[in-house]
Structure formats: C-alpha cells, structure tokens
Amino acid sequence: MPNEKFNAESAAKASSAAAGLCKWVLAMECYDRVAKVVAPKKEALEKTQAALAITMGELNEKKASLKVVQDDLASLQANLAGAEQKKAELLNQVDLCGKKLVRAKQLIESLGGEKTKWGIFV
C-alpha cells in the first residue's frame, strides 16, 4: 500500500468498525497481489496438464503396441526354441542312422564270405 498510515492500529483509534474495515481492505489488497502472481501460473498449469493428458494418452497407446510386439516376440522365441530342439533331435537321428549304416555295411561285408561257405554245404 502506498500510504503507510493506513493500518489497523491507526483505524482502531477512530473506531473498532473502521479497524475491521481496514483489516479487510488490507487483506483484499494482499489477495489481489497474490492473485496477480498466481493467475498466470494457474493458466500455465492448466495448459501443461492438458499437454500431459495428451502425452499420457500417446504413451498408453505406445505401451499397448509395445505389449503386442513383446507378445509376438515371446511367441517367436518359443517357436525358435521348439525348432532348435527339433533340429537337435533330427541331428541325433541322422548321426544314429549314419552309425547304423556303417554297422550294417560292416555286417554285410563280413557275411559276404559266409555265402560261399554255405554254398559248399548246401
């Protein structure tokens, strides 16, 4: 306030009603000063909250699409693990078949001489 003599104590000398009115005027002046400082901040807060709401909506959409991609990735990884297991089983079967072929060839070669021996007896 520009006038320093305008206070509740000075007004109380004249009348208690004037003191109350003076307190009310000083409170309103203080409120006006604070409101002028706070009003732009409230507007900025509202704008920022609106922008935040938009951004959070976009974030939720991105999270949903990320979840879909992660689910697809998990499915693909499960398929890959199954395929790798099947590959390992098939490689083991190939190895086993190769060993059986070698043994069969050895058996046939070793029994080849027996044909001539049996031919003599029959």
Its pTM stands at 0.53
| pLDDT tens by residue, 34-71 | 999 999 999 999 999 999 999 999 999 999 999 999 99
* 115 pLDDT above the threshold of 80: no
If we measure between CA atoms, which residue out of 8, 5, 39 comes closest to residue 25? 8
How far is residue 81's CA from residue 88's CA, in Å, rounded to a whole number?
11
Provide DSSP, the chain: ---TT-SHHHHHHH-HHHHHHHHHHHHHHHHHHHHHHHHHHHHHHHHHHHHHHHHHHHHHHHHHHHHHHHHHHHHHHHHHHHHHHHHHHHHHHHHHHHHHHHHHHHHHHHHHHHHHHHHHH-
pLDDT at 1 over 60: no
Q: pLDDT at residue 79 above 60?
A: yes
Flag the least confident range among 3-7, 47-51, 70-74, 104-108.
3-7
